[in-house]
Amino acid sequence: DADVTQTPRNRITKTGKRIMLECSQTKGHDRMYWYRQDPGLGLRLIYYSFDVKDINKGEISDGYSVSRQAQAKFSLSLESAIPNQTALYFCATSDLKFGGTDTQYFGPGTRLTVL
Amino acid sequence: DAKTTQPTSMDCAEGRAANLPCNHSTISGNEYVYWYRQIHSQGPQYIIHGLKNNETNEMASLIITEDRKSSTLILPHATLRDTAVYYCIVRGYNYGQNFVFGPGTRLSVLP
């Protein structure tokens, strides 16, 4: 979805380096998410944020941190990258609607390789 | 979130309807059924969702059984571009409940 952008789209780095992945959205949504996907597997939730002052750990938060700089921006950091963090990373946004539906819209993904 | 079960893979002839099943026998009353798809390594794309009534949009139809324990996503006239992994997800709207993506069904549309 063009309304959700991720930078960089591809990144190769070395073990021990600090990496930041950035996500921006123009959908005006309050909720933002970071997922990772390993080959042949489904997506797993890393962190999520329901508004600028809200940060929550997901299923696999160890080794990651996030920053919600503004409603439209949500960054994911790997403080000291390790090879098993090699994966596809997706950002998503959503906006809770009246009645409870909360459809998520995904960015194009960042392919991260840690050597 | 309720667990879902989907076939690992399915084939469909181009131009025919693709019917993708999903079992969610432990679904609770406030949980919606969502369908997404992922083409190659692109970001997952939202298709449709529903609570208990059948739903239709420009992409697909969603049929939910009366007991809500299973559902079927129907792509009425599958094209080669519909080849993708399809994810069935059940999710409530309570604060803190998030999407859980399983392995999904790999649909191959054949010429």
Whether residues B95 and A48 touch (CB distance < 8 A) is answered with no
The average confidence (pLDDT) of chain B is 91
Cβ atoms of residues B27 and B2 within 8 Å: yes
B93/A106 CB distance under 8 A: no
- Over residues B70-111, the pLDDT tens digits come to 999 999 999 999 999 999 998 876 655 567 788 899 999 999
**Per residue in A16-61, pLDDT tens?**
999 999 999 999 998 999 999 998 778 899 999 988 989 999 989 9
Contacts of A90 in chain B (CB under 8 A): 43-44
- Count other Cβ atoms within 10 Å, centred on residue A39: 8
Per CB distance under 8 Å, which residues of A are interface residues toward B? Answer: 1, 4, 33, 35, 37, 40-45, 48, 50, 56, 58, 88, 90, 92, 96, 99-109, 111
Instruction: Determine the distance in angstroms separating the CA of A73 from the nearest CA of chain B, rounded to an integer.
Output: 18
Identify whether the C-beta of residue A63 lies closer than 8 Å to the C-beta of residue A81: no
What radius of gyration do chain B's Cα atoms show?
13
Q: What is the pLDDT of residue A97?
A: 66
Is there a contact between B99 and A41 if contact means CB atoms under 8 Å apart? no
* Strand, coil or helix: B73: strand
Q: A99 to chain B nearest CA, in Å?
A: 9
Cβ within 8 Å, pair B43-A100: no
The residue whose two tokens read 């909720």 is A31
Cβ neighbours of residue B18 closer than 8 Å, sequence gap 6 or more: B10, B12, B74, B75, B78, B82, B107, B109
Whether pLDDT at B54 is above 60 = yes
pLDDT of A11: 97
Mean pLDDT value across residues B8-26:
96
Cβ–Cβ below 8 Å for B43 and A50: no
Digit-coded pLDDT (tens) for A53-107: 899 999 899 999 999 989 999 999 999 999 999 999 999 998 876 556 778 899 9
pLDDT at position A100 is: 62
What digits encode the pLDDT tens for the residues B22-42?
Answer: 999 999 888 889 999 999 889
